[in-house]
């Protein structure tokens, strides 16, 4: 098991462009979370999936953001018409329901820079 | 609603000295509490967790934390700091009613000096 992976690790884009990030969770994990971390802050919850269903979205997730998890496996997070305020580290985590449903494993993150 | 407050954004200790990083939480229901460590440009690694079992929790790399309900605290300690402990540390809380989504504190940067 290689853990949670994210791609790309770094993304530089110009304001107004669209970007998409991918997260591959640990294979047997049915929950997948997205968090955003800005400089000097702790991660903030964006959204989470249980299998393919998106069950909760934070108010931080504006209508320019969309996340999917087709077939309950990998997930994508798309940001349309990027703004400089979107510059942050985007972290993905996964967990499994059951006796350890409180323990989340994080990927290395995707650092987005909007110029 | 749940929240976490980490006192001290920066803590500096000498190598070999005691490490104490403070975390206070707020939760209307029994919480699950976590400490994560983050090295530069990396994701978060779980150090330890409290999930309503033993109040003194031991984690990796010699860290431990004690859950004190009366003080709503979950401070992280290590008896003897090592240079490799220099990193950012985050305290986080979740509850069973929130699908385990984590609410993080703002973090404490630990510096270890010779």
DSSP structure string for A32-59: EEEEEE-TTS--EEEEEEETTEEEEE-T
Asked whether residue B62 carries a pLDDT value surpassing 60, the answer given is yes
Q: Is B106 in Cβ contact with A41 (below 8 Å)? A: yes
Q: What are phi and psi of B25, to 5 degrees?
A: -125, 160
Asked whether residue A88 carries a pLDDT value surpassing 80, the answer given is yes
Asked whether residue A101 carries a pLDDT value surpassing 70, the answer given is no
Q: What per-residue confidence (pLDDT) applies to A98?
A: 67
Question: How many CB pairs below 8 A link A and B?
Answer: 60
Q: Is A48 in Cβ contact with B90 (below 8 Å)? A: no
Q: How confident is the model at residue B42 (pLDDT cuts 50, 70, 90)?
A: confident
Q: Is A107 in Cβ contact with B43 (below 8 Å)? A: yes
Mean pLDDT score, A81-104: 86
CA atoms in the 13 A half-sphere facing the CB of A9: 6
Q: Average pLDDT over chain A, rounded to whole?
A: 92
Q: Look at residue B65 and give its three-state secondary structure.
A: strand
Q: Partners of B5 in the beta sheet?
A: B24
Q: Nearest CA of chain A to the CA of B114: how many Å?
A: 25
Q: How confident is the model at residue A61 (pLDDT cuts 50, 70, 90)?
A: confident
Tell me how far apart the alpha carbons of residues B93 and B50 are, in angstroms, rounded to a whole number.
10
Tell me how far apart the alpha carbons of residues B5 and B61 are, in angstroms, rounded to a whole number.
23
Q: Nearest CA of chain B to the CA of A41: how many Å?
A: 5
Asked whether residue B98 carries a pLDDT value surpassing 80, the answer given is no
Q: Cβ-count burial of B83 within 10 angstroms (0-12 exposed, 13-18 middle, 19+ buried)?
A: exposed
Cα-to-chain-centroid distance, residue B107: 9
Q: What per-residue confidence (pLDDT) applies to A40?
A: 86
Q: What per-residue confidence (pLDDT) applies to B31?
A: 87
Instruction: Give B-chain residues touching A36 at CB under 8 angstroms.
Output: none
Q: Which residues of B touch A (CB under 8 A)?
A: 4, 32, 36, 41-46, 49, 51, 90, 92, 94, 96, 99-107
How many residues does the structure list for chain A? 115
Instruction: Give B-chain residues touching A105 at CB under 8 angstroms.
Output: 46
Q: Is A102 in Cβ contact with B51 (below 8 Å)? A: yes
- Cα–Cα nearest to B102, from B64, B46, B40: B46
Q: Is B100 in Cβ contact with A102 (below 8 Å)? A: yes
Asked whether residue A100 carries a pLDDT value surpassing 70, the answer given is no
Q: How confident is the model at residue A51 (pLDDT cuts 50, 70, 90)?
A: very high
Instruction: Give A-chain residues touching B105 at CB under 8 angstroms.
Output: 42
Q: Average pLDDT over chain B, rounded to whole?
A: 92
Q: Look at residue B97 and give its three-state secondary structure.
A: helix
């Amino acid at each position: 098991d290689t853990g949670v992976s994210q791609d790309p690790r770094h993304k530089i884009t110009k304001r107004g462009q669209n970007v998409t990030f991918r997260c591959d969770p640990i294979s047997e994990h049915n929950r997948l979370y997205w968090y955003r971390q800005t400089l000097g802050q702790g991660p903030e919850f964006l959204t989470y999936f249980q299998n393919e269903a998106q069950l909760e979205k934070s108010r931080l997730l504006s209508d320019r953001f969309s996340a999917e998890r087709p077939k309950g496996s990998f997930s994508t997070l798309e940001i349309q018409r990027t703004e400089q305020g979107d510059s942050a580290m985007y972290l993905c985590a996964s967990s499994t329901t059951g006796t350890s449903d409180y323990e989340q494993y994080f990927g290395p993150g995707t650092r987005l820079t909007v110029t | 609603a749940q929240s976490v407050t980490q006192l001290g954004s920066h803590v500096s200790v000498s190598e070999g000295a005691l490490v104490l990083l403070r975390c206070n939480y707020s939760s209307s229901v029994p919480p699950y509490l976590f400490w994560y460590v983050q090295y530069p440009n990396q994701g978060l690694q779980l150090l330890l967790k409290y999930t309503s079992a033993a109040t003194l929790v031991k984690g990796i790399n010699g860290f431990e934390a004690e859950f004190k309900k009366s003080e709503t605290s979950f401070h992280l300690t290590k008896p003897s700091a090592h240079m490799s402990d220099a990193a950012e540390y985050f305290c986080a809380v979740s509850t069973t009613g929130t699908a385990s989504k984590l609410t993080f504190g703002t973090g404490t940067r630990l510096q270890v000096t010779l």
